[in-house]
């Protein structure tokens, strides 16, 4: 504790709650690698004494970081720093490519590949008639051996041949590009909702846990829709980042 306590300062005159001041600074130490995954922290009583805080205030700071997926409480071990959340820039890349670039050891379980009638939602996104056959793919994506995303994608029939082996070894966008599809733009919406029982089981979350959602329609250089994705991500392990410019 003493090795990094001096890096945390508390301003009692600030309107920012004391627990949040501590939580924010601990989060920065975790995300910058000062406190790497696996680091054990002192118990809440000792930490409260170290910072001159009440035990409820210290407990609130720690719980804030547990809820964000940065700390984990383990019986017999105490509180530990866990693997940093994956932060993904919002751009036209596949999750597999982003994880590879960050050296997060991506792995994929292909849950299904099938030809199905297009629902109204899928038909509108791919600009095909409702009920027309499309290819549906469901995958569970891992990073560092932890499940992080449940992905459902639809593609026009006949666009490319998909196999379980290919999808388990590469990202869908990589396969599209290699088949000659020139990905150009995408329309994307990000949101959040509660996990269903099935989603929670696959993702290792509690039922009703908050999930990030992303729907995306990707287009080729001619403006033709070539893929519609509806994905859910563990909010405790994943976040989206974007750059906003002033005009």
Task: Tell me the pLDDT tens digit for each residue of 73-102.
Answer: 777 777 888 765 555 544 455 666 666 666
Task: Tell me the pLDDT tens digit for each residue of 181-202.
Answer: 988 888 888 888 999 999 999 9
User: Domain locations in the chain?
Assistant: 2-81, 86-241
The total number of residues written for the chain in this structure: 247
The Cβ of residue 216 has, within 10 Å, a number of other Cβ atoms equal to 18
pTM of this prediction exceeds 0.75: no
Q: 5 pLDDT band (50/70/90 cuts)?
A: confident
State how far the alpha carbon of 145 is from the alpha carbons of 28, 140, 165, 166, 203, in Å.
Answer: 24, 11, 18, 19, 12
Q: Quick one: CATH architecture of 86-241?
A: 3-Layer(aba) Sandwich (3.40)
Residue 31, both tokens: 């995300």
State how far the alpha carbon of 234 is from the alpha carbons of 81, 88, 147, 167, 208, in Å.
Answer: 17, 13, 8, 21, 12
Q: How far apart are CA 10 and CA 53, in angstroms?
A: 10
In the chain, count of helices (H) and strands (E)? 9, 11
| Closest by CA position to 143, among listed 135, 151, 131 | 151
Q: How far apart are CA 199 and CA 209, in angstroms?
A: 10
* CATH code given to domain 2-81: 1.10.10.10
């Amino acid at each position: 504790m003493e090795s990094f306590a001096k890096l945390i300062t508390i301003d009692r005159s600030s309107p920012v709650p004391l627990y949040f001041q501590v939580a924010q600074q601990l989060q920065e130490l975790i995300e910058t690698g000062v406190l790497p995954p696996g680091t054990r922290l002192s118990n809440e009583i000792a930490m409260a004494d170290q910072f001159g805080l009440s035990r409820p205030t210290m407990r609130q700071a720690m719980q804030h970081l547990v809820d964000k997926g940065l700390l984990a409480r383990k019986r017999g071990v105490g509180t530990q720093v866990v693997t940093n959340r994956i932060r993904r820039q919002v751009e036209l890349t596949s999750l597999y490519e982003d994880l590879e670039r960050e050296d997060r050891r991506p792995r994929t379980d292909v849950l299904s590949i099938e030809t199905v009638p297009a629902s109204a939602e899928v038909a509108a996104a791919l600009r095909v008639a409702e009920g027309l056959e499309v290819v549906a793919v469901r995958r569970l994506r891992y990073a560092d051996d932890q499940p992080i995303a449940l992905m459902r994608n639809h593609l026009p029939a006949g666009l490319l041949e998909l196999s379980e082996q290919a999808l388990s070894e590469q990202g869908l966008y990589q396969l599209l590009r290699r088949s000659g599809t020139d990905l150009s733009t995408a329309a994307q919406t990000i949101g959040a909702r509660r996990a269903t029982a099935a989603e929670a089981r696959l993702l290792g979350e509690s039922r009703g846990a908050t999930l990030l959602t992303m729907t995306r329609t990707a287009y080729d250089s001619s403006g033709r829709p070539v893929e519609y994705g509806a994905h859910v991500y563990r909010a405790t392990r994943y976040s989206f980042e974007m750059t906003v410019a002033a005009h």
